Amino acid sequence: MAELRLVNGVRRGKTFDIILDGQALLAYEGETVAAVILASGRRLLRLTRKRGEPRSVFCNIGVCYECRMVIDGSPNVRACQTRASPGMVVNTQHGLGEDDIA
Amino acid sequence: MIARADLAIVGAGPAGLAAAIAARQVGVAAVVLDDNEQPGGQIYRQPPRGFSIDPATGIRDDQARGRRLLDDAARAGVSVRNGVAVWNAKPGALYCCQGDEAWTLQYETLILATGAYERPLPFPGWTLPGVFTSGGVQSLLKAQRIVAGKRVLLAGTGPLNLVVANQLADAGAQVLAVLELARPSVFDLLPMLAGRWELLAQGIGYVGRLAGRRIPIMRGWTIIEARGKEEVQSAVIAQVDDEWRPIPGSERVLEVDTVCLGFGLLPSTELSQLIGSEHRYAPELGGWIPVCDEYCETSMPGVFVAGDGAGIAGSLVALEEGRVAGLRAAMRLGRIDPKEFSAQAARSLARLRRLGRSRAVLDRISRPRPGLFERITPETVICRCEEVTASEVRKEIEDGATSLVELKARLRVGMGLCQGRICSSTLIELLAQGTGQRPEDVRPFSQRPPVKPIPVSALLALEEACHD
Ligand SMILES: Cc1cc2nc3c(=O)[nH]c(=O)nc-3n(C[C@H](O)[C@H](O)[C@H](O)COP(=O)(O)OP(=O)(O)OC[C@H]3O[C@@H](n4cnc5c(N)ncnc54)[C@H](O)[C@@H]3O)c2cc1C
């Protein structure tokens, strides 16, 4: 679903990779981690603690905390409020994320 | 570290920026703090570094207006500190942090212009990936030029959904329908409001464009369930009665990969509550809102609220309230006298009176009605953070819980990272229904710092703050 990232009407800056669950993923300067992941066609950001349910971005303005992921070793970081940067290591969060820290 | 300011402003949306400009024009240099990386607030959000967005994309209007406001601010000599989260507020002091740095800002006067977020209304499946708020989908599109999905359904009430539906269609998404609760429609009243309510005026244009695109606006319909395994795959929609209760037998199933929910906004009142100003219950303005006089001053002298954080009213009201609050703060600081205040604020005050009248009409139509809560099934998740379902909440209410505090102690609702922003308005409604109290008699969660996530260094400062 590459065309989720619109090409008309916008000029993007530099590209780089982030590492999502061990795989390189293309990002553009200025994009949030949530945007990079959604643009790749993937939605899952974390699995909940009690029921193991999949969750993704909900509010995208930093209020709901549904998009929390393990970013550069810190759990519970909001993907919608975090700018992607070259080489950033992002992992799907399971529950509270304690076991996701390598 | 301790910094000082004659005037501190939290929020760099239309309200906060207008306040800072007005104050600067009468000689008060405000410190403006906003936790976003870009100034402009929700409606005027600017694209991030590295992006340039073509003026022909149809999202240019808001960004251009925002740009003009930011230019006015720059010309007036206002500077905004972006990326700063204010995580606690007390009389005379704000607690701020940015990255690992934490400090206290002591102020003489304060304007809270903290804006709003979308009203969360639970129904089965609303936690599935692919179910977003409409504003969230819009900000992805506006600031990042990313479309959230391909087959999209929008549901809720009010003009924002119309705007977003068109923006999605412009971006190449297939928009199946906009489900609008209000019937007879909000849009029948438009001629009266035209030009007064920016979003609504945009909305009118968009009704026509949706028709041109054969995207139906289904009035008197809403979503009652989202279905799917890993993500949303279909939506069950139903007709509603005048109280917005789903009508049994009217259900239909639509195949979708994306659902946008736009059911109106709730004011962000964490800081005005923490600081201890009085609040009142005004459901038509989004629930509990700070009490203030016509000059935006709260029950605490020198503390002002402006914009959507003072009650949902849109960006035009936010601009005028910001200006009034900025001038009034300057008066409190002794920089202008009451006569000069009256002269300078007269135009904004007159506009606010005019806007207030059209607002009342819209408020009446889009005030959430009780039927919406009947979509909640026993298994529906109410508290997303702690994964608490409606049946768990209802059982505690049957067992005697009568307040949010009791529910919190028994179920941990409101104790997650969102701090009750997502569940509390629904819990108030469930408590009201289950106990026969009026919603305004159900006490809201008491706010606790930090209202924004903070690093350890700030936590240490918090401990000190709690001990004095
Ligand atoms: C997601 C979304 C999309 C919207 N889209 C539209 C639209 O397309 N058209 C339209 O007419 N209206 C839209 N609205 C409504 C519009 O945003 C408001 O009417 C208007 O922006 C209100 O301005 P404001 O200055 O009161 O608040 P905002 O513009 O919301 O600004 C408040 C600012 O305060 C900051 N803030 C809050 N708390 C803190 C804190 N503790 N520390 C630091 N900073 C803080 C916020 O990050 C934000 O930048 C939208 C609202 C939302 C929530």
Q: Give this complex's ipTM.
A: 0.96
Q: Which residues pair with B259 in a beta bridge?
A: B131, B153
CA distances from B390 to A40, B79, B234, B248 (A): 34, 46, 22, 21
Work out whether strand B151-156 and strand B174-180 pair parallel, antiparallel, or are unpaired: parallel
Phi, psi of B112 (to 5 degrees): -95, 115
What is the DSSP-derived secondary structure letter of residue B435? H
Cβ within 8 Å of B, A 63-102? 63-66, 68, 76, 78, 80, 83
For chain B, domains (ranges, CATH) are 2-117+266-363 (3.50.50.60), 120-263 (3.50.50.60), 376-441 (1.10.10.1100)
* pLDDT value at residue B195: 41
Check CB contact of B140 with chain A, cutoff 8 Å. Answer: yes
Question: B102 pairs with which residues across the strands?
Answer: B97
Q: Side chain identity at B109, as an amino acid letter?
A: T
Percent of chain B with pLDDT over 90: 69
CA distance from start to end of chain A = 30
Establish whether residue B11 lines the binding site of ligand 1, counting it when its CB lies within 6 angstroms of any ligand atom.
yes
pLDDT on residue B359: 66
Sign of CA dihedral B462, B93, B16, B299: positive
DSSP B311: S
Residues of chain B in contact with residue A78, where contact means CB-CB under 8 angstroms, are 453
Contacts of B327 (CB under 8 A, 6+ apart): B22, B23, B26, B336, B341, B344, B345
- A90 Cα to chain B: minimum distance (Å): 18
Ligand 1 geometric centre to CA of B116 (Å):
5
**Which pLDDT value is given to residue B196?**
45
State how far Cα B444 lies from the chain centre: 17
Q: Say yes or no to pLDDT of B208 above 90.
A: no
Q: What is residue A2's predicted lDDT score, i.e. its pLDDT?
A: 45
Query: How many Cβ atoms sit within 10 Å of the Cβ of residue B441?
Result: 14
Range 404-463 of B in CB contact (< 8 A) with A: 416-418, 421-422, 453
How far is B468 from B90, CA to CA, in rounded Å? 11
- Poorest-pLDDT segment among A21-25, B195-199, B358-362, B363-367: B195-199
Query: Is B10 a pocket residue for ligand 1 (Cβ < 6 Å)?
Result: yes
- Nearest-CA residue for atom 1 of ligand 1: B135
Q: Does B130 touch chain A (CB under 8 A)?
A: yes
* Ligand 1 near B268 CB (within 6 A): yes
Cα–Cα distance for residue pair B235/A8, rounded to 1 Å: 30
Residue B19 has pLDDT above 70, yes or no: yes
Looking at beta carbons, which residues of chain B come within 8 Å of A11? 51-54
B385·A76 Cβ contact <8 A: no
pLDDT of residue B96: 95
Quick: pLDDT tens for B346-357. Answer: 999 999 998 876
Q: Name the 3-class secondary structure at A75.
A: strand
Nearest to residue B323, comparing CAs of B12, B112, B17? B17
Residue range B119-133: mean pLDDT, rounded: 97
Closest CA–CA distance from residue B93 to any residue of chain A (Å): 24
- The per-residue pLDDT of chain B, averaged, comes to 90
Distance from CA of A66 to the nearest CA of B (A): 8
DSSP codes joined into one string, A14-58? -EEEEEETTEEEEEETT-BHHHHHHHTT----EE-TTT--EE--S
Cα distance from N-terminal residue to C-terminal residue, chain B: 16
Q: Set out the domains of chain A in order of their start, with CATH numbers.
A: 5-92 (3.10.20.440)
CA dist list (Å): B376 to B117, B123, B390, B393, B421: 21, 5, 7, 12, 18
Q: Which two tokens stand for residue B174?
A: 């297939």
- Measured between CA atoms, the residue of chain A closest to residue B99 is A82
Q: What is the reported pTM?
A: 0.94
Distance CA B120, CA B382 (A): 9
Q: CB under 8 Å to B187, separation ≥6 — which residues?
A: B203, B204, B207, B217
Chain A residues close to B135, C-beta within 8 Å: 59-61
Q: Flag whether residue B373 sits within 8 Å of chain A, measured between CB atoms.
A: no
- Which residue has the CA at smallest separation from atom 8 of ligand 1? B43
Decide if A59 and B147 are in contact by the 8 Å CB cutoff.
Answer: no
Q: How far is residue A72's CA from residue B447's CA, in Å, rounded to a whole number?
A: 30
pLDDT tens for residues A39-65? 999 999 999 999 999 999 999 999 999
What tokens were used for B215? 């995207």
What are the tens digits of pLDDT across the range B161-175? 988 999 999 999 999
d(CA B424, CA B385): 12
